[in-house]
Structure 1
Amino acid sequence: MGFLMLFPEKMIYLKISIPAGKVDEEIKNIGLSGLLHIDERKGKRVFAAEEKRVEHLYRKTESFLDILGITYRKKWENGDIDITRIEDFVYDLEEKLNKISNLKKKLQRIRKLFETAKSIKERSKDILEPDKLLKNLKCIKFISGIIPDENLEPFLLSLKAYITFPVYGRLSKGSSWFFVFYLEDESTHIKDILGKNQAEDIPAEYFLREKEKEIKEREKEINDLLNMVKDKYLKKLLDYNSFLRLKYKITVAKQPLEIKGDYYIIYGWIPARKLDSFRRFVKYSNIETFPAGEDAPVLLKTPEFFKPFERIIKGFSYPKYGEINPTIPFGITFLIFFGIMFGDVGHGLVLSLVGFFLKKKNRDLGLVLILSGISSSFFGFLYGSFFGFHDIFPHLFISPIYDVEKLLIFSIFVGIIVISLSFILNILSLLRRKKIKNLIFGEGGMLWLLIYWYSIGVFIKAVVFKLDIKWDLVFLILIIFIVFIYIYRKSKSATQSVINVLRELIETVTNTVSFVRLGAFALAHAALFLAVFTIARLLESEGKGLLYWFTIVIGNVFIIVLEGIIVAIQTLRLEYYEFFKRFFVGGGIPYRPFRLD
């Protein structure tokens, strides 16, 4: 079972022939099964006009329910409804709701002006009382409103040309309120000045208390109309909306259908193990099965523990059908790489704690941080590091500060294991897909794995044990020559074949050397601690007082945030460019079956 998790679910390709008179009912049955991933490359959209008509009516009913303030939706279970009957209903209801909608817009505008007038009254109450002025002023007129701050000065200057008395003040950020008192003869000039300075006039009636009563009466009128519409139309509206929602999903699913005589043909994929279950849902159709090709959608069988890493991989690319599911090896190697580069018990505990609190809002990110923190703490014990202190407990494996050479050798050793694993995963993938030639001779195949391992053996024999490697080199060149012949037979170009062989050799070496960054970042992690402690001692040379510990805390926070991000980026780089290179192509399509709830 664990081995099978390395591969996506096995799929089969179906050709489903539906009798012409049973199309909608059978598509509904297929949707209720929730199993068929429809092949949308087929068909000529013969139902496009129907889809457009149904979608228009469905969107209308959704907007009607929003206007009425209805948030719940029904599930449709009551057979078929004539679309023409729904159209008549929609046009009738639309007329009434448009009237209500227009009344709402007018009320919204009135309420906005009233609230603005209310704010102006509140801010000007120490200077004047607008509602009393309205009732008492006879010969003198006044106008009120709001104006952008940048236009206030030109506005006041323009008013000086006439017999006016302005009063003004700040209303909100970017705008001011004003009152302008003037003689009736100046009305035309005053309104012209308002227009030129983008001032918004608030009619005098909005300052009267009677306006609030009018607003409440309008609200009651609208609510009465809404209640009347709900009483008369809501039940049917909910029914039609639920029917149209189902109908729309079915018409969309019908677009890839092909017509052959008296049958409509639909193609798609289902998981092979679900075929019997699918047949129980399909009542009227003939089903033909075919092996799934590499264009099949992919259903990954990832254990729940590794699901957060699966979503990280999806952000890079989805695996193709038949490829290895990279999630489990990715998750394991991701945690190892991160722990090696960010090994510290204290920092790991902080990451896990942050992940625990983040998990409620973002489960995937929280779990990745928790697991990364555990890995960091594990390697922190191996390094003997706790918030940068290396004298609290002894290191169990390597001290990044004192064992630099061992650390770099360890990094290369990890790189060799990971690259070998990428070869093995590719071989398993090719074996499962029965691509025998690529399995033996292709990039990432068995001969290239042999070349890789044999090259490492020759290097160790020459450099570590100082032994003669003449015949080993001859054998290595012979293997490379066999690969060259295979590439040459495919490309028919000697130059291109030489380039391909050299490129693969150089890339394999550089991929291995790239893993030195594991040790380099572990060393940088320790070096940053040394810098923080040095600064702390310089700031407080006499003992370890408050300033010393404050510097240590700030330094650790800086290292956790800055280096944590850098290490995460470097970890993903090693995964995508060194590890994935040999066995992961990507470009797959996720399995998304047509489903009716």
Structure 2
Amino acid sequence: MPWSEAMAPVRMHRVAVIVPQAALRGTLVRIAEAGCVELDRAEEAAPGAAAVRLQRLRGRVTTTGPESATSAVLAAAAPDLDLLEERGDVELLAGEAQLEERAKGAVQRGEVAALAGWCPDAEMPRVAGRLAAAGGALVPLPSPRGADPPTMLRPGGPASFTPLVTTYGTPAYADLDPSWPAGLAYVAMFGIMFGDVGHGALLVLGALALRLGRPRRLARLGRLWPFLVGAGVASMLAGAAYGEFFGPTGLLPVLWLSPLDSPARLLAAAVVFGAGLLAVAHAAGAVNRVREAGWGTALYASSGCAGLLFYLGLALATAGLLLHRPPSTVVGVTLAVTGLALVAVGLFRATAGGGAGCAETAVQLFDVIVRTGTNTLSFARLAAFGLTHAALADLVWRGTTGLAGHGAAGVVGAVVLLAVGTALSFGLEALVAGVQALRLEYYELFSRLFEKEGRPFRPWHVPPAEPADRATKVVPCSPG
């Protein structure tokens, strides 16, 4: 798969389902079983016969649609709705209500019915084969002008960072899929703040337990195990660099620096690391602006090419000043001023013009400059919370060694203090590091990546009711 395609959402096709009127129900049942097509639905359609019976059976009169059912199944042949209501078969009635709703979106011409929708490109042959068996056909259509396809991020197998992106929002279909880069950035930031080989190893063990479904009451959190593994490995690497193993126990040598001995170096490294992440986010944002609206808009956007040029110039000028390299400073200032001028042009073009437009542009330009500086300095919190974590571990270790020198009772007290102190510091710092890494990811990085909100791909999937059909497993929508 080409890199450009692997870093983009799953490719979608606008499709039409063409089927004889008599075979409409059978075709819809096969579409629902495949679970790979998002069908257009009729707007403000009156509830069908199955939906009315379903509402009556539930004993409530609401406007809630059939999608709110906790579960639904579909029979291969049209069932007797009155009999289903009499038996209290909520699942079959819910499935029939959904089928009625989709069928109302069909356009009928004589003996032929057609439905429109979206389908992943990789799934089209499989869906077409299933529809052909029912007498239908899946026909590719050009995308409607002005309508963006729904977005489906690549699942990436069991170890996926996709939830990190979807929790923030749904990217526009034209945008890049930042799941893996965003996940790696998250675990790296977590590791810097939670650097300890012992604590990181505990996180890895916890992730393996979640992967195995243990404990059962936390099984619903199982999809978070890739984050725990990544965070644990990053913490172990940072801990090895800091020489921390359940605190400054002296069991590991300091490979890079000790946080409590060199806080200024750690602070500077955190800001430089954050500046690098922001530069990458700016570059990805520029690519997104080009993909969304073309070069004409991306060239002047603060989250596009102009913002990238301004940030790179600012970084180069700052590095030149700190390293006493006048040529680098001059080039950096030139790039920064050029980028800022392009941003100003883009901001002014979005106003009504005149004096009011100039004033609005000046205020927004000042905001761009301030936010650029504050967002960069915000990454200093990586060092700050890394220092806090090291200080708490050091406090626990000093208390443990102090108690251990007071006889047998002191040794017992030292063991208890080490266990309780480690548990408290582990829980507190893991929570803080997780929240702070998420905050940096969303506010500093994602705010530069995304400007448009996409629409998630919601394929229609209802399993068959017949046991014979259920025995044949159909994997819904697995583009891989």
1:490 aligns with 2:350: yes
d(CA) in 2 for partners of 1:476 and 1:248? 59
What corresponds to 2:36 in structure 1?
Answer: 35
Q: 2:257 aligns with which of 389, 398, 401?
A: 398
1:438, CA displacement in angstroms?
A: 2.9
d(CA) in 1 for partners of 2:378 and 2:372? 10
Q: Secondary structure at the match of 1:521?
A: helix
1:555, CA displacement in angstroms?
A: 1.6
Does the Cα contact within 8 Å between 1:57 and 1:244 map onto a contact in 2? no
1:381 aligns with 2:240: yes
d(CA) in 2 for partners of 1:326 and 1:301? 10
What corresponds to 1:252 in structure 2?
Answer: 101
What corresponds to 2:382 in structure 1?
Answer: 518
1:54, CA displacement in angstroms?
A: 5.7
Please, what TM-score do these two structures have when normalized by structure 1? Answer: 0.65
Structure-2 change in CA distance of 1:489 and 1:315 (3 Å)? closer
What corresponds to 1:198 in structure 2?
Answer: none
Q: Percent identity?
A: 23
Q: Secondary structure at the match of 1:510?
A: helix
Structure-2 change in CA distance of 1:596 and 1:463 (3 Å)? closer
- The amino acid that maps onto 1:452 is Y
d(CA) in 1 for partners of 2:460 and 2:124? 15
d(CA) in 1 for partners of 2:91 and 2:159? 38
Does the Cα contact within 8 Å between 2:242 and 2:258 map onto a contact in 1? yes
d(CA) in 2 for partners of 1:263 and 1:479? 57
Does the Cα contact within 8 Å between 2:313 and 2:335 map onto a contact in 1? no
d(CA) in 1 for partners of 2:138 and 2:417? 75
Q: 2:442 aligns with which of 563, 576, 583?
A: 576
What corresponds to 1:531 in structure 2?
Answer: 395
Does the Cα contact within 8 Å between 1:51 and 1:252 map onto a contact in 2? no
What corresponds to 1:415 in structure 2?
Answer: 274
Q: Which is further off, 554-563 or 348-357? A: 348-357
- The amino acid that maps onto 1:531 is L
How is 1:439-450 mapped onto 2 (pairs within 5 angstroms)? 439-450=298-309
Q: Deviations over 1:266-318 (max 9, x none)?
A: 331111343444444153568461226664222211322542x3224333322
What corresponds to 2:461 in structure 1?
Answer: 595
1:564 aligns with 2:430: yes
What corresponds to 1:347 in structure 2?
Answer: 199
d(CA) in 2 for partners of 1:243 and 1:345? 54
How is 1:139-150 mapped onto 2 (pairs within 5 angstroms)? none
What corresponds to 1:310 in structure 2?
Answer: 162
d(CA) in 2 for partners of 1:356 and 1:490? 51
1:331, CA displacement in angstroms?
A: 1.1
How is 1:82-101 mapped onto 2 (pairs within 5 angstroms)? 83=80, 87=82
Q: Deviations over 1:133-168 (max 9, x none)?
A: xxxxxxxxxxxxxxxxxxxxxxxxxxxxxxxxxxxx
d(CA) in 1 for partners of 2:84 and 2:127? 37
Q: Secondary structure at the match of 1:441?
A: coil
- The amino acid that maps onto 2:188 is I
Does the Cα contact within 8 Å between 1:253 and 1:594 map onto a contact in 2? no
Does the Cα contact within 8 Å between 1:44 and 1:255 map onto a contact in 2? no
Does the Cα contact within 8 Å between 2:20 and 2:111 map onto a contact in 1? yes
- The amino acid that maps onto 1:325 is D
Q: 2:310 aligns with which of 451, 467, 478?
A: 451
d(CA) in 2 for partners of 1:286 and 1:552? 65
Structure-2 change in CA distance of 1:305 and 1:519 (3 Å)? farther
1:527, CA displacement in angstroms?
A: 1.3
1:24, CA displacement in angstroms?
A: 2.7
1:524, CA displacement in angstroms?
A: 1.2
- The amino acid that maps onto 2:310 is I
1:547 aligns with 2:413: yes
- The amino acid that maps onto 1:504 is V
1:427, CA displacement in angstroms?
A: 2.5
Does the Cα contact within 8 Å between 2:10 and 2:153 map onto a contact in 1? yes
d(CA) in 1 for partners of 2:336 and 2:226? 45
- The amino acid that maps onto 1:445 is G
Q: 1:499 aligns with which of 363, 370, 381?
A: 363
What corresponds to 1:338 in structure 2?
Answer: 190
Structure-2 change in CA distance of 1:498 and 1:260 (3 Å)? farther
How is 1:76-225 mapped onto 2 (pairs within 5 angstroms)? 76-77=75-76, 79-80=77-78, 83=80, 87=82
d(CA) in 1 for partners of 2:310 and 2:103? 53
d(CA) in 1 for partners of 2:380 and 2:142? 48
d(CA) in 1 for partners of 2:406 and 2:92? 80
Does the Cα contact within 8 Å between 1:302 and 1:327 map onto a contact in 2? no
What corresponds to 2:294 in structure 1?
Answer: 435
1:563, CA displacement in angstroms?
A: 1.0
Q: 2:123 aligns with which of 270, 274, 279?
A: 274
1:472, CA displacement in angstroms?
A: 5.5
Q: 2:150 aligns with which of 294, 297, 310?
A: 297
Structure 2 unaligned runs (5+)?
Answer: 60-71, 214-218, 464-480
Q: Deviations over 1:445-482 (max 9, x none)?
A: 12221211111111222233163756754553244223
Q: Please, what is the CA RMSD of the aligned residues?
A: 3.3
d(CA) in 1 for partners of 2:388 and 2:291? 42
d(CA) in 2 for partners of 1:552 and 1:242? 54
What corresponds to 2:475 in structure 1?
Answer: none
d(CA) in 1 for partners of 2:203 and 2:332? 48
Does the Cα contact within 8 Å between 1:320 and 1:586 map onto a contact in 2? yes
Structure-2 change in CA distance of 1:499 and 1:257 (3 Å)? farther
d(CA) in 1 for partners of 2:125 and 2:265? 58
d(CA) in 2 for partners of 1:243 and 1:343? 53
- The amino acid that maps onto 2:153 is L
Structure 1 unaligned runs (5+)?
Answer: 61-72, 95-236
d(CA) in 2 for partners of 1:330 and 1:381? 23
- The amino acid that maps onto 2:204 is S
Q: How many residues align?
A: 432
Does the Cα contact within 8 Å between 2:403 and 2:411 map onto a contact in 1? no
Q: Whose strand proportion is higher, 1 or 2?
A: 1
What corresponds to 2:468 in structure 1?
Answer: none
Structure-2 change in CA distance of 1:401 and 1:241 (3 Å)? closer
Q: Deviations over 1:215-259 (max 9, x none)?
A: xxxxxxxxxxxxxxxxxxxxxx79x99975654442132243456
1:476 aligns with 2:336: yes
- The amino acid that maps onto 1:38 is L
Q: Secondary structure at the match of 1:304?
A: coil
d(CA) in 2 for partners of 1:22 and 1:436? 48
1:15, CA displacement in angstroms?
A: 4.4
d(CA) in 1 for partners of 2:127 and 2:38? 12
- The amino acid that maps onto 2:386 is A
What corresponds to 2:178 in structure 1?
Answer: 326
Does the Cα contact within 8 Å between 2:203 and 2:229 map onto a contact in 1? yes
Structure-2 change in CA distance of 1:244 and 1:441 (3 Å)? same
Q: Which is further off, 296-305 or 382-391? A: 296-305
Does the Cα contact within 8 Å between 1:306 and 1:327 map onto a contact in 2? no
